[in-house]
Amino acid sequence: MLVLAPAFAGGVSDQEKTVQQVVAEIDRMHQKVDQYNEDIVVALDQKAQLDAQIVISQQSIAEQQAVIAALEVQLGNVAVSKVMGTGSGALGPLFSDPVALDESLQRDHLAKVAVNAGEATTNDYEFLLDQLQTEQKSLEDNQAQAAALAEQAETSREKAEQALKDLEDRETKERNKLGTLIDQEQQRQAEKAAAEYAAQVKAAQARSAADKAAQANNSSSNNSGSSNSGSSNSGSSNSGASNSGSSNSGSSGSGSGGSGSSNAGSSGDSGGGISTQPVSSRAGTAVNAAAGQQGVPYRFATSNPGVSFDCSGLTAYAWSMAGVNLPHQSGQQYASTPHVSKESAQPGDLIFYYSPISHVGIYIGGGQMIHAPATGKVVSVTTVRWDRVVGVSRPG
């Protein structure tokens, strides 16, 4: 329960309202820090992909340049041979200063020499040069984009650090004014969210039990109808009236079976959203891996066991120890794994916070999860704030 400090001039209700507003603002500031950290991870991940492409392009360009250089040497030899044999000056500007030549004119003369010598075709040479230019343009574009992403990551890092400083300053200021009221309000909200979640789980379980009972009753009714129908047919094989009754009975049994099937499908959809996605046998390995990193400092954009983690780096590491590869980014982790309802959360499941998603932890049961919280903190166990959870997924 919230223990109130001496009332402000506006009364107790004003004090409660003030505390709630402060807690809400602190929560928003936490989310802002998380989002900036997520932006850093996204930018660095995209840059890493571009860096890999850049290396491939550079290797390709070097190979193409070597091929073209060899061809130009060959063309030069052919040109010299042609001049020495015929005294022709048809080479035009081929032997002029390359710096002074227009690139397209030089290309045209080299190609013509190759054609005259019967060593290559204009299309061959043009294709190589065009391909090289295209590759060089792509490389330049990727390098520019990679530089922009690096700058974007640095900007997000600066914003994250400033947002964290603002948060810490705000918390210090408000705690100096409100004392333990902030902690009490946060605890009250956490307990309320936990109670609401427990009620949701209980209701979902009750619906699931009712659905199973209804399916069992329908199955029993169908079996009974099928048995009666068979008995009627057997006992009335020589009676037209009985055959007619048998036909009606069979029709009735079929109708009952159809109804039962329909109810089963409906109940599956209304079972509180409880997923049929089975819990992976590797979930325990993932939980133990995360638990083994408790006390490791938080650091954005890292997944370094025993050294540092950010939130998605921790969950990616934990599940990698169980043989499941996850992207190092919370939004992508949610997008790439099977979703389950909050009410069906099991140990090993990933718990995602905020919209857009900017934080993730690994559920360990009992309303608790392990996560890498924020800069200045360490990997630790915390109570799940189900009122902030926007999704749950089940890797493996």
pLDDT greater than 60 at residue 83: no
| 250 CB neighbour count, 10 Å cutoff | 17
| H or E stretch at 165 | helix 122-178
E strands present in 244-348: 303-304, 308-309, 339-340
- 125 contacts 106 by C-beta, under 8 angstroms: no
Q: What average pLDDT does the segment 2-19 reach? A: 64
**Which of 23-27, 200-204, 217-221, 272-276 has the largest mean confidence?**
23-27
3-state helix, strand, coil in the chain (%, to 5): 65, 10, 25
3-state class (DSSP) for residue 280: coil
- pLDDT tens track for 254-278: 333 333 333 333 333 333 344 567 7
What is the rounded distance in angstroms from the CA atom of residue 145 to the CA atom of residue 153? 12
Distance CA 365, CA 338 (A): 19
Say if strands 380-383 and 368-371 run parallel, antiparallel, or are unpaired: antiparallel
Instruction: Give the pLDDT of residue 73.
Output: 73
Tens digit of each residue's pLDDT (9 = 90 or more) over 281-339: 899 999 999 999 999 999 988 999 999 999 999 999 999 999 999 999 999 999 999 99
Q: What is the DSSP letter of 6?
A: S
The pLDDT of residue 225: 59
Q: What average pLDDT does this structure show over 190-201?
A: 92
